[in-house]
Chain A
Amino acid sequence: MKGVEHIAGLKRIEAFSRDEMGMLCMDETRSVYPHQEVYGRYCTIEEYIDCPPEKVFEYLSDTRSLEEWTWSTRGFEATEDPDVYKGWDRLADDTPIFCKTISNRDAMTVDYHCAWDQGSHLWMIYLMRVVPAQLVFNKPGSVVLWSNCKHPFYENNPFPETASKERDTWVGDLWPFFRAGHVVEMINLKKILEHRHANEESLRPWIEDSKPNCSSAIAA
């Protein structure tokens, strides 16, 4: 079996010494980083939530929770495709948002596959992972990691015919504000879950008063 020696450009201790690595790290460790460099292609945020990871996962993997913890997505209803729900993104006028939630209980990952205006190509993908805080912080609770990648469709809407003609906002124009917007939503998530957990309230109150018409599509 071939090793990795023939692959150019690798920095491994056999050929890249402690001193060289030290120099590189000194050089690359800056006091400030441009926003564009940190959040230009990927937008990753993270937060500690004082609520058990199983509960955080259960809440996130139910699409209807989005109506509570996101700033602007509301009114999710089932569509013809049982896995895809249609709601409204009140960030802009007259803007439907489609969402398919794919979660994995073992890995505790919850991925929201979404798109504005049309539900046939779900390209806005919100990748979330719940980590037991016991493992990483040695204390109860959860750490939630949340990443988005800047899909090329954020630059230009490939389905302009599906958008309302009056709308002058495209979701991708707001990419520079994603970090700020997602932090707001992450804090909403934290406050809701910490409140319900601390007060022993029902985690998903809509389960009790309505049929679970919006439960998640769980794929193992």
Chain B
Amino acid sequence: MRPVSLKAIATAFPENVVNNDFFGEEGNRPQGGMFRGARERRHLAPGQTAVDLIAEASKDLAEQVGESEVRDVDIILTNVSIPDLPFTGCGAEVAKMIGANPTWVYDLHNHGCVSFISMVQLAQMLISTTSAKRALICNVQTAAGRIFRDEQVRKLPQAAVPGDGCGLALIEEGDYRPIEGITVKCFSDNASDMQIANSEGREWWEPGQEQFHIDFSRAKVARVVERGNQMVPQVVHEACQQAGITPDEIGTLITNQPNAIFLRNWRDALEVSSEQHVDTFEEHGNLFGAGIPVSLKRAMDEGVVNDSKYVVLGGFSHAGDYSAAAVIRWNKAA
């Protein structure tokens, strides 16, 4: 595999800040366990698209590295939680919007909260095996404004958790800030454990009155907690091993942001302090796939990563169908 490096990262968020009052009166607010709410989160406005957020973030990216560098991508990879349209992905629209002429455009639907890591892995594979030199990776979470602001769904405890946002990354050939280990694992036994439901019992593409929600029974929550606690430290260990480092060399830990309890448990398990572990949950809720790039950007903006020799990314998706981790040898000057 050719070495690839993280060149730059940028984020964008909808303007609409939603605080906890949105989800019910004091005392009647959703609370508890896995779905304990954040302090606030952003909701996509009606009519606002994933491509709108990518456009905004790509301006920030262009300011960091220059417009031509962004335009000069060979690969565009996207993951959008609730896509702008059925059938088509948004990658071609992104190419048009930034004025790029990429050869490899893939809109990926799976990997959820760890899709940033799996897209970095895919970018590395493409750069290693083709003439491609540079990839634009786009993670957009759109479910909060599109599903969870619904008048009925917002009453459920789970509704306060998601927040919308976008994280972009430029990955290119080079070893100035290299990704030294990437592990992505699939747990097929857990594949059917995240379902959607609504009281009408209809399929999501069938017409009806009610919005759907995510169907987690209490019993499933116990299993997902167990899996998440177990699989994230495990996959981080594997990525560290692949990179030839031990977990005590983790300078900064960036994980997906499902809730405060998982964040605490992963820190404890990997023996990383809260100062070393970026937490964007309180301000943004669960950004799904965008959580990792957004947290990484925050770590860079706030200087958390400055003294780190290694920045480690890790997480799991949905009800435990995938886990993934990556080790980046950090270079502040890059």
Contacts and interface: CB of A to CB of B under 8 A. Distances in A.
A169 interface: yes
Contacts of A169: 217-219
Given A176-B225, A176-B226, A32 B220 contact: no
A174 B226 CA distance: 10
B219 A168 contact: yes
B285 interface: no
A177 B34 CA distance: 13
Nearest to A30: B271
A174 B229 CA distance: 15
Contacts of A175: 222
A210 interface: no
Contacts of B269: 32, 34
B229 A35 contact: yes
B305 to A, nearest CB: 24
A170 interface: yes
Interface in A149-189: 168-170, 173-177
Interface in B128-145: none
B109 interface: no
A174 B222 CA distance: 6
B36 to A, nearest CB: 15
Most chain A CB within 10 A, of B226, B268, B271, is at: B226
B218 A35 contact: no
Interface string B88-104: 00000000000000000
Interface in A31-65: 31-32, 34-36
A63 B63 CA distance: 72
Interface in B259-283: 268-269, 271
Interface string B210-232: 00000001111011011001100
A132 B230 CA distance: 37
A36 B226 contact: yes
Contacts of B220: 173
Contacts of B271: 31-32
A173 B222 contact: yes
Nearest to B217: A168
Interface string B196-220: 0000000000000000000001111
B219 A170 contact: yes
A35 B271 CA distance: 15
B233 interface: yes
B268 A32 contact: yes
Nearest to A175: B222
A111 B62 CA distance: 68
B273 to A, nearest CB: 13
A174 to B, nearest CB: 5
B230 A35 contact: yes
Nearest to A174: B222
Given A35-B229, A168-B217, A176 B268 contact: no
B208 to A, nearest CB: 22
Nearest to B225: A176
A169 B218 CA distance: 7
A173 B230 contact: no
A176 B233 contact: no
B23 to A, nearest CB: 24
A177 B222 contact: yes
Contacts of A35: 226, 229-230
Nearest to B230: A36
B217 A176 contact: no
A31 B271 CA distance: 9
A156 to B, nearest CB: 13
A40 to B, nearest CB: 9
Given A32-B269, A36-B230, 5 more contacts: A34-B229, A36-B226, A36-B229, A169-B218, A176-B226
Interface of B: 217-220, 222-223, 225-226, 229-230, 233, 268-269, 271
25 contacts: A31-B271, A32-B268, A32-B269, A34-B229, A35-B226, A35-B229, A35-B230, A36-B226, A36-B230, A169-B218, A169-B219, A170-B219, A173-B219, A173-B220, A173-B222, A173-B223, A174-B218, A174-B219, A174-B222, A175-B222, A176-B222, A176-B225, A176-B226, A177-B222, A177-B225
